[in-house]
């Protein structure tokens, strides 16, 4: 029922794309709470343009969150899907998620609380959560992961890691990863 719209002007199209790319860069580097002025500067436009095109900070984030996060998480799900051993699948999933959180701190802004109702992201999180639940169940059936670990625990373990990465950015990737091992070992079933 909507009238056929005239295509956007060339400069508008150019700017939208430029803002998207700038936002990806800036948000990746400094998180989703970076002032929009910085995004504007990086894109070579004024702040007003961002608001005009995307409505709000939130609108901008919604517009790029997919490219920022979704692909990486889908990549993890795919990679883990290739593995056969239940324990390896379970541990590899967690490990890769945790490392993603280290490598792309913006992921944590997304996971922790910023976007309660971003539709595409929400469904992705649900998918990831279902996937994780499957991994957990298989690993527990195989007797390699402790039985008192719940799906909620799993979600928390990932959220927690986000908080850690944000607050303790100084640790090297090596140390970070080595310490993840402690936790993974604690999740195994070794009576």
Partner DNA sequence: TAACTTCTTGACCATGGAGTCAACTTACTC
Partner DNA sequence: GAGTAAGTTGACTCCATGGTCAAGAAGTTA
Q: Report what 130 binds from DNA, its own copies, none; CB cut-off 5-8 Å by kind.
A: none
* Choices 10-18, 21-29, 130-138, 166-174 (CB under 8 A): range interacting with its own copies: 166-174
Q: Report what 140 binds from DNA, its own copies, none; CB cut-off 5-8 Å by kind.
A: none
Q: Taking a C-beta distance cutoff of 8 angstroms, is the pair 80, 138 a contact? A: no
Nearer Cβ to DNA, position 38 or 189? 38
Q: What is the DSSP string of 127-154?
A: HHHHHHHHHHHHHHHTT-B-TT--HHHH
Q: Taking a C-beta distance cutoff of 8 angstroms, is the pair 60, 37 a contact? A: no
Residue linked to tokens 């993974």: 184
For residues 126 to 145, the per-residue mask of contacts with DNA, x marking binding by CB under 7 A and - elsewhere, is --------------------
Q: Taking each helix axis from N to C terminus, what angle separates 10-30 and 36-43, rounded to the nearest 10 degrees?
A: 130
Q: Is 122 in the site for its own copies (CB under 8 A)?
A: no
E strand or H helix at 104? none
Residues that bind DNA (CB under 7 A): 6, 8-12, 14-15, 33, 35-37, 44-49, 51-53, 56-58
């Amino acid at each position: 029922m909507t009238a056929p719209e005239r295509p956007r002007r060339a400069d508008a199209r150019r700017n939208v794309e430029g803002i998207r790319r700038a936002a990806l860069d800036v948000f990746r580097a400094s998180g989703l709470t970076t002032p929009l002025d910085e995004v504007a500067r990086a894109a070579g436009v004024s702040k007003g343009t961002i608001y005009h095109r995307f409505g709000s900070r939130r609108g901008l984030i919604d517009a790029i969150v997919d490219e920022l996060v979704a692909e990486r998480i889908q990549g993890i799900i795919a990679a883990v899907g290739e593995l056969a051993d239940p324990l390896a699948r379970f541990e590899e999933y967690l490990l890769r998620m945790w490392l993603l959180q280290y490598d792309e701190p913006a992921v944590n802004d997304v996971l922790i609380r910023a976007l309660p109702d971003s539709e595409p992201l929400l469904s992705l999180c649900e998918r990831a959560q279902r996937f994780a639940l499957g991994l957990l169940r298989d690993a527990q059936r195989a007797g390699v992961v402790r039985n008192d670990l719940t799906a909620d625990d799993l979600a928390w373990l990932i959220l927690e890691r986000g908080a850690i990465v944000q607050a303790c950015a100084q640790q090297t990737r090596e140390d970070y990863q080595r310490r993840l091992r402690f936790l993974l070992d604690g999740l195994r079933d070794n009576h």
